[in-house]
Amino acid sequence: MEKEKIPLQPFSLEGKVAVISGGASGIGLGTAKKLAEYGAMVAILDISEDKGNIAAREIQQEGGTAHFFRCDVRSAEDCKKAIEDVINTLGRIDILFNNAGVAIRKNAVDLEPDEWDLALDVSLKGQYLLTKYAVPHMIKNGGGSIINTGSGWSLKGGENAVSYCAMKGGTLNMTRAMAIDFGKYNIRVNTVCPGDIDTPMLKSECEQLGGVYDEEYKKSCAVDRPIQRLGTVEDVANVVLFFASDMSAWVTGAHLVVDGGGIA
């Protein structure tokens, strides 16, 4: 049964096209569904064709418009082609959610050089590449909104997470630089900084550190937070919706921490 679309309102994204990297699972998928719910035509970018096609079908079955485009965000050629394919299919790009990332939980001694390269290439390089190819189309449209996925660890360090902290810290300051560069084109660039969110990535982090991703582990993630629960993809998607919509029309170069108060 098709989900009834929400009526026009300040958060409406009707007529807009949103590109979401890492859109086949976790925060990316949850955000793709949220933006489609508010009227955006969604372009899901992901390295997994199976998961990407399934994600697009889920959104279509819920009454939204979604297309999948395979993209390895580490590759300039892939990113350029994906953006071109979005333009050829949907005609424009208004929103870019640079969300693809990996989390490798090791310190600087244990981390291998190829793992460092993987972590920074998927996140930082991927954010730069998709922005590089998307911005000229946003300029033609008269503006747009870019949202980069950072982390609470964009603002502070974390244990056994040297590459993750490096790339997320880099994301925060890269966002500020992009906001300065592209503001004259009415392109806003902001960062969403999630804490622990119930996703496959958090499960992977838990298991990398020798833990078991069960209810007890999830409870432990919430112990030191003023709002004592684990975050959900919807918590993050709601903030991305704010940054994507006209409700944040004069907000750029900013970051918003979504972590239940964990670094308060």
Indicate the length of the chain as a whole number.
264
Nearest to 46 by CA among 101, 116, 128, 88: 101
Q: From CA 62, how far away is CA 136, in angstroms rounded? A: 32
Query: Measuring CA to CA, how many Å separate 49 from each of 27, 34, 168, 194?
Result: 17, 21, 26, 26
Q: What is the pLDDT of residues 147-157, one digit of tens each?
A: 999 999 999 99
Instruction: Say what the pTM is.
Output: 0.95
Mean pLDDT to the nearest integer, 180-200: 97
| Average pLDDT along the chain | 96
Q: What is the mean pLDDT of residues 35-59?
A: 98
Compute the average pLDDT of residues 174-195: 98
Q: How confident is the model at residue 3 (pLDDT cuts 50, 70, 90)?
A: low
pLDDT given for residue 6 in this prediction: 56
The percentage of the chain sitting over the pLDDT mark of 70, rounded to a whole number, equals 97
Of residues 38, 128, 133, 164, which has the active-site annotation?
Answer: 164
Q: pLDDT by residue (tens digit) across 55-67?
A: 999 999 999 999 9
Encode pLDDT of 127-154 as tens digits.
999 999 999 999 999 999 999 999 999 9
Q: Give the per-residue pLDDT at 2.
A: 61
- Known catalytic residue: 217? no
Q: Domains along the chain?
A: 17-195+232-258 (3.40.50.720)
- Tell me the average pLDDT across 215-229: 92
SS3 state at 201: helix
Listed in sequence order, the DSSP H helices in the chain are 26-37, 49-61, 76-90, 113-120, 126-141, 162-182, 200-208, 215-220, 233-244
- Mean pLDDT confidence for 24-49: 98
Is residue 111 within 8 Å of residue 86, measured between CB atoms? Answer: no
